Chains A and B, each alone.
Chain A
Amino acid sequence: MFSVILYGRNDSHGYNLHKRAAISFNAIAEVMSDPDDEILFVDYNTPDDHPTFPEAIHDTLTEKAKKVLRIFRVRPEQHYHLKSKTHLVALEAQSRNIALRRSNPNNRWVLYTNTDMLLVPRREEESLSKILGDVPDGFYQIPRFELPEMLWEAAFDRRDPVGNLTKLRDWAVRFHLNQVVHNFMPMKYDALGDFQAALREDMFAIHGFDEDMLLGWHCDSNLAARLALYRGRVDTLIDKVFGYHCDHTRVAAANNKGRATRMNDQNRFIWDVSSPYLPEQADTWGWPGVEIEEVRLDRETSYERFTSGLAAALDPATEPYRSTSLDWYLYSDLSYDIRHTLPFVCDQVLTYPRSTAVMLVATRAEFVSRFAVAWQAMGFTGPILVPTECQRLDTSHPSIKTGAFSDLVRMADLFVFEFGLATQNPDEAVRIGRPEGPLDKKSLKAVAKLFAAAASEEAETRPKGRRLPRRFIGVNVIYNKFWPLFTDYIGANINPFCSQVLAGIPRQESSLKGKILKFRGRYRV
């Protein structure tokens, strides 16, 4: 019957976002009763190495919410072409249109709201699906009622939407929450963007939200103006449903700078609107030709993929623990436990697109073979690119593609550089003062050369069409002699030694040291 369209990203937009959003997702799912109903969340521009926002809070969502939730992940690379035109990191019009384009065509209605709203049918036994199923074609809004922060934060249980809705019905009366704030036509009510129900067919006819609205604010008013023109009136559902907003003004959100807030031009986008249609974006709204990843929380979850990958690549440990050491005299000992390190490496790659091409430059054959098994079992379809300059590695796995470094580097979306000892056996004890043999030295020299070259020339060797820097994952680069090399080139955080993994993008150094490093890296190969 209806598709709810929401957007956001995995960041901290305003106060206690995680609780507000969980309350809202669960409450919206609770008032759905039609099998075609869905909540579409566009996760816009979350960094590639982070999970989407709903994945990050999945444990606080009800089974029903997880079942109806479809997440569309818009990557930073897909946002890049708009980056210079806006100060915002998440774009409302683009997000809502991406969801609309991909919404269930069986649904008659599209409902635009936000991840801090609870929709309360006035008849307890009535679902929102039933309400929308019964009303005639039109464009419907409701007033927004404000819920003090204390109430939702202190009294709501995230995973109890039924209880939360019951509490709301009670509080509405006891605390006089229901104040209708009327507004000019065509807005009709204040804060109208928290409930705008339009026919899906109408939204396609008017070409969705106006994607020129890149500065934030008033997207809802623009939609109201255009749909009011298209339909002739703005209808109300105030007799059927109340909408409550979890107030979050203790901390201003990123797009709220008080009087200094930048926003879309009200005259252009509201008061001088002359048509519901946007012919300039008729063929492009919602990015119809762009492949947008869909993530589900009720199937093939990140956790399932992660554990599948590791289960395929590793046998369970047979001892209660294994040891390593940070003693200073072991600084040159590059032995490490692959079975312990691999989960941290997989954790670094899991959130990337499945089609990612990863370049793997390694010393240890065991690392390559175990990583390849995990990669495939995690559902990645892109190749593992292993340069022929790395010798004595097993490259027989079907996911592995070999070639000259200079060719492969232009195909890679992500890099993994592993600095271990080529001669280390899987069952050797680690960090007990193992020296490097000639073969180890030769392998490490090759990896270091390729690393310096890849990092210093990263910008010049990006695949065609790619504009953002690629991420480098360093394996066994903490508290050993490759730590300085890795962090000279890569802006990595300080990580615990136990993970053995660092990651980041190449440093943009304008200092003399940076220029020298870049020069040296460039001519090492």
Chain B
Amino acid sequence: MDPTLDEAWEGWGEALDALGERALALEKYEMARRLRAGQRPGAPDRHFVLRQRGHFTAEILAYDSVVRSLAKNTLPYLARGNAYLATGQAAKALADYERALRLKPGVPEITALKGEALAMLGRYSEALQAFDSALLARPNDAEILGGRAIVRIALGLVEEADADWRQQFGLLRGRPSACACVALRMADYGAALPQLEQALMKEPTDPYWLLYRLTAQRRLGQVVDATNIPVIDAWPGPLLALHAGRTSAAEALKLANTESRRAEATFQLGILASAHDHNAARLHWQEIVDRSGPSQIEYAAARHELARPLSSSAL
């Protein structure tokens, strides 16, 4: 069994519980919960489906059954589609969203999800059409605006993407972590920093908010107290260590064991280089644009950094 399959642990627990094996059952349930607690949600400025993490096999199977009984209602397709999308199965998600849209044409929330699935498949022009259509009905929907901004920047429409992000930033007021992510995508560190400070008041040990605060401080030319950077083993701890001077670039890159982590590490190398070597920084950021996906914060931020004149700081 995949030891990270939380649903299997839970199912195992349920079976043991029903058999009267209470102590063993509790262990399995606890394991499932530990796994779930360890999963960090996606970026808080993204669509709620894209914030979901983990395995959704049980949900997919459950909604398979509901679809067979209620083939003329949208929710079962939508919920199953979301489970597919959250687990990166964009083609299957798209098929479910299209079925739902055939039953209820033009529902903006489903159209927006279709846009997200198309974007995940790299079909950016079609995704843009879907988002445009959804936004006609829901012009102030922060999540749809965020989705369109990502598609726009993927298509090289940086100014248009920024217009969406600026609107999204305004709509997300009161949610500092989400605002910070939007500002970081625009590499607007002046706007991001106060939001990150607020996010850290709520979640003082969150490693990403600590990392991004260092990012913003460095790009704004502020002095960083490297001695107070906490030691955290789990990712993105190595990037905090990089800022603290406790690890090397090579070591950080070595520990970046996924595409997205590699993009995060590369971006931070660019940030650190920008203080003394703009060209080196730009090389790092260009690598992100060339290699990573547009939904990552670092991708959009790198594009904005590259769009700045060589001598410009982020102020």
Taking beta carbons and an 8 Å cutoff, which residues of A are in contact with B?
Answer: 135-136, 138, 184-186, 225, 228-233, 236, 238-239, 267, 270-277, 279
Chain B residues with Cβ below 8 Å from A135 are 33
**Smallest CB separation, A105 vs chain B (Å):** 12
* CA distance in complex: A390, B142 (Å): 62
- Size class of the B contact interface (CB-based, 8 Å): 35 or more
Q: Are A274 and B62 in contact (CB under 8 A)?
A: no
Sample 18 A-B pairs with CB under 8 A, ordered by A number. Answer: A135-B33, A185-B66, A185-B79, A225-B75, A229-B49, A229-B78, A230-B48, A232-B49, A232-B59, A232-B82, A233-B59, A236-B14, A239-B14, A271-B74, A274-B110, A275-B109, A279-B138, A279-B141
Is the CB of B286 closer than 8 A to any CB of chain A? Answer: no
- Alpha-carbon distance A277/B75, docked complex (angstroms): 14
| B285 adjacent to chain A (CB < 8 Å) | no
In the assembled complex, the CB of B129 is this many whole angstroms from the nearest CB of chain A, namely: 19
Contacts of B79 on A, CB cut-off 8 Å? 185-186, 228-229
A136, B53: Cα distance in complex, Å: 13
Question: Does chain A have a CB within 8 A of B218?
Answer: no
Q: Is the CB of B104 within 8 A of A229?
A: no
Given contacts A233-B56, A271-B70, contact A138 B36 (CB under 8 A): yes
Interface SS of A by simple majority: loop
Partner of B74, one of A136, A230, A274, A276: A274
Say whether, besides A231-B52, A271-B74, A279-B138, A184 and B36 are in contact (CB < 8 Å): no
Chain A residue at minimum C-beta to C-beta distance from B58:
A233
Could you tell me which residues of chain B, from 64 to 119, have a CB within 8 Å of some CB in chain A? 65-66, 69-70, 73-76, 78-79, 82-83, 86, 100, 104, 107, 109-110
Query: Chain B residues with Cβ under 8 A from A238's Cβ?
Result: 14, 17
Of chain A, the residue at the smallest CB distance from B41 is: A137
Closest to B74 in A: A272
Given contact pairs A239-B25, A272-B104, A274-B74, A232 touches B69 in the complex (Cβ within 8 A): no
In the assembled complex, how far is the CB of residue B314 from the closest CB belonging to chain A, in whole angstroms? Answer: 31
Q: Is B299 an interface residue (CB 8 A)?
A: no
A272→B36 contact, CB < 8 A: no
**Do A136 and B82 have beta carbons less than 8 Å apart?**
no
| Residues from chain A with Cβ under 8 Å of B52 in the complex | 231-232
Q: Is the CB of B73 within 8 A of A184?
A: no
List, in ascending order, chain B residues with CB within 8 A of A277's CB: 109
B37 part of interface (Cβ distance < 8 Å): yes
B residues with CB within 8 A of A: 10, 13-14, 17, 25-26, 29, 33, 36-37, 48-49, 52, 54, 56, 58-59, 62-63, 65-66, 69-70, 73-76, 78-79, 82-83, 86, 100, 104, 107, 109-110, 138, 140-141
CB-CB under 8 A from B75, the residues of chain A are 186, 225, 270-274
Closest 4 CB pairs of A and B: A271-B73, A136-B37, A232-B52, A275-B109
Which B residues touch A274, using CB under 8 A?
A: 74-75, 78, 100, 104, 107, 109-110
In the complex, are the beta carbons of A229 and B63 less than 8 A apart? no
Shortest distance between the CB of A110 and any CB in chain B (Å): 18
Residue of A nearest to B59 (CB): A233
Contact between B70 and A276, CB atoms less than 8 A apart: no
14 other A-B residue contacts (CB within 8 Å) besides A136-B37, A232-B52:
A185-B62, A185-B65, A225-B75, A229-B48, A229-B78, A229-B82, A230-B48, A232-B54, A233-B56, A233-B59, A273-B75, A275-B109, A276-B48, A277-B109
| Pair B73/A267 contact, Cβ less than 8 Å | yes
Which A residues lie within 8 Å of B58 (CB)?
233
Chain A nearest CB from B77 CB (Å) reads 10
Contact between chains at B56 and A232 (CB < 8 Å): yes
Instruction: Give A123's nearest chain B residue, CB to CB.
Output: B26
- How many Å lie between the Cα of A135 and that of B6 in the bound state? 14
* Residues of B close to A229: CB separation below 8 A: 48-49, 78-79, 82
**In this complex, which of A229, A239, A267 has the most chain B Cβ atoms within 10 angstroms of its Cβ?**
A239
For residue A273, which residues in chain B have a CB less than 8 angstroms away from its CB? 74-75, 78
Q: Which residues of B contact A228 (CB under 8 A)?
A: 79
Whole-angstrom distance from the CB of A4 to the nearest CB of chain B?
22
Given A239-B13, A274-B75, A279-B141: A184 touches B69 (CB 8 Å cut-off)? yes
CB distance from B35 to the nearest CB of A (A): 9
A185 to B63, CA, bound (A): 7
| Distance A272 CA – B107 CA, assembled complex (angstroms) | 10
Most chain B beta-carbon contacts within 10 A, residue among A184, A233, A236, A273: A233
Contacts of B10 in A (CB 8 A): 236
Contact A239 B26 (CB under 8 A): yes
Name the A residues within 8 Å of B26 (CB-CB).
Answer: 239
Q: What residues on B are CB-neighbors of A272 within 8 Å?
A: 73-75, 104
B186: min CB distance to chain A, Å: 24
Question: Measured between alpha carbons, how far is A135 from B49 in the docked complex, in Å?
Answer: 21
| A267→B17 CA distance, assembly (Å) | 35
With A232-B59, A233-B59, A274-B109 as known contacts, state yes or no: A136 contacts B33, CB within 8 Å.
yes
**A267–B107 alpha-carbon span in the complex (Å):** 15
CA separation between A138 and B52, bound complex, in Å? 11
Closest to B25 in A: A239
Minimum CB–CB distance from B43 to chain A (whole Å) comes to: 15
Contacts of A186 in B (CB 8 A): 75, 79
Q: Closest approach, in angstroms, between the C-beta of B44 and any C-beta of chain A?
A: 10
Smallest Cβ-Cβ distance to A234: which chain B residue: B59
In the complex where A267-B73, A272-B73 touch, is A136 in contact with B78 (Cβ < 8 A)?
no
Beta-carbon contact of B62 and A239 below 8 Å: no
Minimal Cβ-Cβ distance residue in A for B38: A136
Q: Tell me the complex Cα distance, A275–B97, Å.
A: 13
User: Closest approach, in angstroms, between the C-beta of B28 and any C-beta of chain A?
Assistant: 9
A138 contact set on B, CB distance < 8 A = 36
Bound CA span A135–B30, Å? 9
- Asked if A232 and B62 sit within 8 Å, CB to CB, the answer is no
Complex: chain B residue closest to A233, CB-CB: B59
